[in-house]
Amino acid sequence: MRVAVRIVMLCTVLAAGRATGAAGELERLRESFESALKATEKEHRAKRAGLPEEYGEWLATARKQHQMAGELEPLLAVRAEDERYAREKTVPAMTAGVAPAVVALRKRYHERLAQADTWRKKRVLDPAARLNAQICDPKWSS
């Protein structure tokens, strides 16, 4: 989908540039958009890359908290989740049959993932909207 959007944007920019003879300025707009897109993608990957490590830290913290509070069932559930996570390196979204202590941690993880993805979408759409507004400006009309 991302590639398709870029291709459509690029074709629009280049077609408008050839049609109006303003290819140089439109090319600069396209490059500005591509630069903003690359920076956003890099930051988005960094935001998502840190989440698995954070999940492991959350598990360790929850394990200590349940141990200090003497809560055996949540402690065993978090310990089992920690072992599963160490083997599989995934955080399933499904929560059926999962202890509430683990459900809370998984939910937190997936909320953080969603926040990172929402941040990315907003950062990608803002420059795309600006680029489209500039392309649709009457000065580009022939």
pLDDT surpasses 70 at 11: no
In tens, the pLDDT along 112-137 reads 999 999 988 888 777 777 777 766 76
Instruction: Tell me the two tokens of residue 73.
Output: 């069932």
Question: What is the domain range of residue 39?
Answer: 2-140
**Percent of the chain, pLDDT > 90?**
43
Cα distance between residue 75 and residue 64, in whole Å: 8
Q: Give the alpha-carbon dihedral of 23, 24, 28, 30, to 10 degrees.
A: 20
Beta-carbon count within 10 A of 73 CB: 11
Q: Which of 2-6, 97-101, 122-126 has the highest mean pLDDT?
A: 97-101
pTM of the model: 0.69
DSSP-assigned states of every residue in 77-98: HHHHHHHHHHHH----S--TT-
Domain count of the fold of the chain:
1
